[in-house]
Structure 1
Amino acid sequence: MQALTANEAKTQFGALLMQAQRNPVQINKNGKPVAVVVSIEEYENIEEIKRQWLQARFLNAQHAIEQNKTLNGEAFFDELFAGKYD
Structure 2
Amino acid sequence: MEVLNASDAKREFGELLLKAQSAPVGINKNGKPVAVMVSAKEYEQLQALQEAALKVEIDAGLEDIKQGNISDGHNVINRLRQRL
Q: Above 0.5 in TM-score?
A: yes
After superposition, give the CA deviation of every residue in 1:22-51 in whole Å (9 maximum; x if it has no partner).
000000000000000000000000000000
The AA in structure 2 aligned to 1:25 is V
Partner of 2:70: 70
% identity of equivalent residues: 43
TM-score, L = length of structure 1: 0.81
Distance 1:71 1:14, change over 3 A: farther
Distance 1:27 1:41, change over 3 A: same
Q: Which runs of 5+ in 2 are unaligned?
A: 77-84
Partner of 1:19: 19
Who wins on radius of gyration, i.e. which is larger? Answer: 2
2:50 partner SS: helix
- Pairwise CA distance, 1:71: 5.0
Partner of 2:37: 37
In structure 1, what is the Cα distance between the partners aligned to 2:43 and 2:68?
Answer: 37
In structure 2, what is the Cα distance between the partners aligned to 1:72 and 1:38?
Answer: 43
Q: How many residues matched?
A: 74
Q: Which runs of 5+ in 1 are unaligned?
A: 76-86
1:68 partner SS: coil
Distance 1:62 1:22, change over 3 A: same
